[in-house]
Amino acid sequence: MRDWLLKGLNEQTLQHQGPHAQPGSAEKPHAWWKVMCLTGVDYFSTLGYQPGIAALAAGTLSPVATLVLVLVTLLGALPVYRRVAVDSPNGEGSIAMLVKLLSFWKGKLFVLVLLGFAATDFIITITLSAADATAHIDENPFWPAPLRGHEVALTVLLIALLGGIFLKGFTEAIGIAVGLVGVYLGLNVVVIADGLVRILAHPGTVTDWTAALTTQHGNPLLMVGIALIVFPKLALGLSGFETGVAVMPHIKGDLPGRIRGAKRMLTAAAVVMSVFLITSSFVSTVLIPQAAFNSGGPANGRALAYLAHENLGSVFGTIYDLSTIAILWFAGASAMAGLLNLVPRYLPRYGMAPAWAKAVRPLVLVFTGAAFLITVLFDASVDAQGGAYATGVLVLITSAATAVTLAARRRRERRLTVAFAFITLVFIYTTIANVLERPDGVKIAAAFIAAFLLVSLISRLYRAFELRVTHVEVDEVAQRFLRDCSRRQIRLIANEPDSRDEREYREKIMQIVADNDLPDDRDVIFVEVTVSDASDFETELLVRGEVMHHRYRVLRLSSSAVPNALAALLLTIRDRSGRRPHIYFEWTEGNPAANFVRYLIFGQGEVAPVTREMLRQAEPDRRRRPHVHVG
């Protein structure tokens, strides 16, 4: 069972279409329009519930509010993510851009916060899509009456099926997505076109709608003002952009070609979705009675499906339901794949999750359990989860807008900086308005953030003595030092560099010789570690050798933690030379507990005992373990 759960634990974390897909050549790249379908199962599937939510939130003003949403999409989100595609082309999205701009612990904490909102976005995508699929099943006339009214149980069953598929594993997601998106969009074209024909045949419906608009909201300026206030409730129609940049590695071509393909993909998806949003909102508002959108109504969460059944018959309506259920379910699969690519990319690498978090199956169980809990808490309601979903989407888009604004400012692109700053302000307003109206999303995100912080703290403590150097490279000078010493004894002196003058090295040798009663002070090598970013966990070592003051041999290296670098260096020397090296320390002054906290936060402090403990855990055989001397 353990081997099955942890399958793929040692594989490098890359972008996969589905779980257990093999990296490298096994995943062939695809044309950008095919990859668009992979992200489109998330983006386009919102047509299943977006028109109904818009009508419920904005009433007769829904088409106007949707037009505002489309303008924000084309003039705001699209330019932002086209820039993200350029600056973060390896599938890491806007979070990676912000990580580059923020270093040390504040960058890691910021990542945890964003991951909390990303988890909210993706988990709610799973639960909301499954809940809406349940609504389509429950309202279908062919669904047996005894099975109606069990929304929570049916939604949990759909989520369990999704989790089961991911536990088993699949690799070819893009081929499935192309078929689902093609059929679904084709059926929506039929439903919307039929609705527009009916409106043209009965122009009185438009007259009735405009009369209702005038009666309820007065002059056009007031309508636009109310639409600007209401449109944040429609923010679900902005989903899919973060997923779009996450799937960039699947686009065919070299790096410039992938970037061009990603821009075309994002633009095409935004334009297609904008057309569907406006036309579906107009048709739904004009042809469906307002009471049908209310909770429990036949059009609640399924406006286009309602029109398909009412206008095109139960057979076509059932075909439309099946297509909608399939793409909504697969939207959950897209979200699950996004989580499985996102979380292992950051948390285990930062030491903020157990090592098993790099494996797919344990994470699937965790995320499926979270989806079960949210489904029960929200009673499988599409309307109730809409605010939480929108919050996750808006926070990610706002962070992306912030990232591209800061990147443009760094490049001294004044016009772009001003433009992106304005877009950022628009999304900040939209996010705040959504949070004030429906705070559930912040509550769920806060729960995820708290969980990430708690797991990160426990994991960082638990893995404090873990050797986490992924690769050691030794330059030619350093290799020559080690070859010369390997004929006798390899003796290293751990030195914390200060002024690096001749007196520092001379006094250090005198101290080590006196403390350890060494017979010879000539055949030693100094080791100096510079702490780069102590908040990093996994690191690579480049060992550079140099001669100081024409006499003292020094190995210099940079790492996130001093003991980690020294332990990795000692094991590398042992493996390459066949001899057990000796290393000499002096005791660190100060309170041991305080020094251990310094090690956890700043990568230095209680160096000698921590180095020895890392060696003990990495090499259980005492006869092969490098020698550690402290004086």
Distance from C-alpha of 34 to C-alpha of 253, rounded to nearest angstrom: 14
Bridge partner list, 531: 559
Distance from C-alpha of 631 to C-alpha of 612, rounded to nearest angstrom: 14
Q: Are residues 73 and 135 in the same domain?
A: yes
Domain range holding 50?
A: 2-462
**Rg, the chain, Cα only:** 30
C-beta of residue 327 within 8 angstroms of C-beta of residue 111: no
Distance from C-alpha of 618 to C-alpha of 563, rounded to nearest angstrom: 13
In this prediction the pTM is: 0.74
Output the pLDDT for position 80. Answer: 93
Count Cβ atoms within 10 A of the Cβ of residue 13 and give its class: 0-12 exposed, 13-18 middle, 19 or more buried: middle
Output the pLDDT for position 78. Answer: 92
Output the pLDDT for position 156. Answer: 92
Q: Are residues 221 and 348 in the same domain?
A: yes
Strand ordering across the sheet containing 582-585: 469-474, 539-548, 552-559, 525-531, 491-494, 582-585, 627-630
Q: Containing H/E element for 384?
A: helix 382-410
What single-letter DSSP state applies at residue 621?
-
Alpha-carbon 290 to chain mean position: 38
| Structure tokens that stand for 363 in this block | 């994470």
Q: Are residues 474 and 455 in the same domain?
A: no
Q: Are residues 189 and 115 in the same domain?
A: yes
Q: Are residues 517 and 585 in the same domain?
A: yes
Distance between the two ends of the chain, CA-based, in angstroms? 48
Q: Are residues 82 and 189 in the same domain?
A: yes
Beta-sheet pairing, 539-548 with 552-559: antiparallel
Distance from C-alpha of 369 to C-alpha of 345, rounded to nearest angstrom: 21
C-beta of residue 299 within 8 angstroms of C-beta of residue 283: no
Q: Are residues 186 and 136 in the same domain?
A: yes
Backbone angles phi, psi at 494, to 5 degrees: -75, 120
| Structure tokens that stand for 521 in this block | 């002070």
Cα distances (Å, whole numbers) of residue 460 to 10, 456, 535, 600, 610: 20, 6, 10, 8, 14
Output the pLDDT for position 443. Answer: 81
Output the pLDDT for position 534. Answer: 80
Q: Are residues 260 and 360 in the same domain?
A: yes
Count Cβ atoms within 10 A of the Cβ of residue 272 and give its class: 0-12 exposed, 13-18 middle, 19 or more buried: middle
Q: Which residues contact 323 (CB under 8 A, 6 or more apart)?
A: 180, 183, 184, 187
Distance from C-alpha of 195 to C-alpha of 319, rounded to nearest angstrom: 17
Mean pLDDT by 10 residues, the chain (631 residues): 67 40 53 84 81 81 86 90 88 76 76 80 85 83 82 90 76 75 94 94 86 75 75 69 80 89 92 92 90 83 89 92 87 77 72 72 87 88 75 85 90 91 90 82 80 81 82 86 80 85 86 78 82 81 87 88 90 87 87 85 85 90 90 82
Domain boundary among 402, 427, 462: 462
Distance from C-alpha of 310 to C-alpha of 300, rounded to nearest angstrom: 14
Domain boundary among 462, 494, 524: 462
C-beta of residue 557 within 8 angstroms of C-beta of residue 600: no
Question: Would you say how long the chain is, in residues?
Answer: 631
Output the pLDDT for position 173. Answer: 66
Output the pLDDT for position 21. Answer: 37
Output the pLDDT for position 439. Answer: 82
Query: Domain tally for the chain?
Result: 2
Output the pLDDT for position 8. Answer: 58
Q: What is the CATH number of the domain that holds 65?
A: 1.20.1740.10
Q: Are residues 138 and 18 in the same domain?
A: yes
Q: Are residues 84 and 199 in the same domain?
A: yes
Q: Are residues 186 and 298 in the same domain?
A: yes
Output the pLDDT for position 27. Answer: 53
Domain boundary among 416, 437, 462: 462
Distance from C-alpha of 392 to C-alpha of 243, rounded to nearest angstrom: 13
Q: Are residues 584 and 447 in the same domain?
A: no
| Structure tokens that stand for 283 in this block | 């048709």
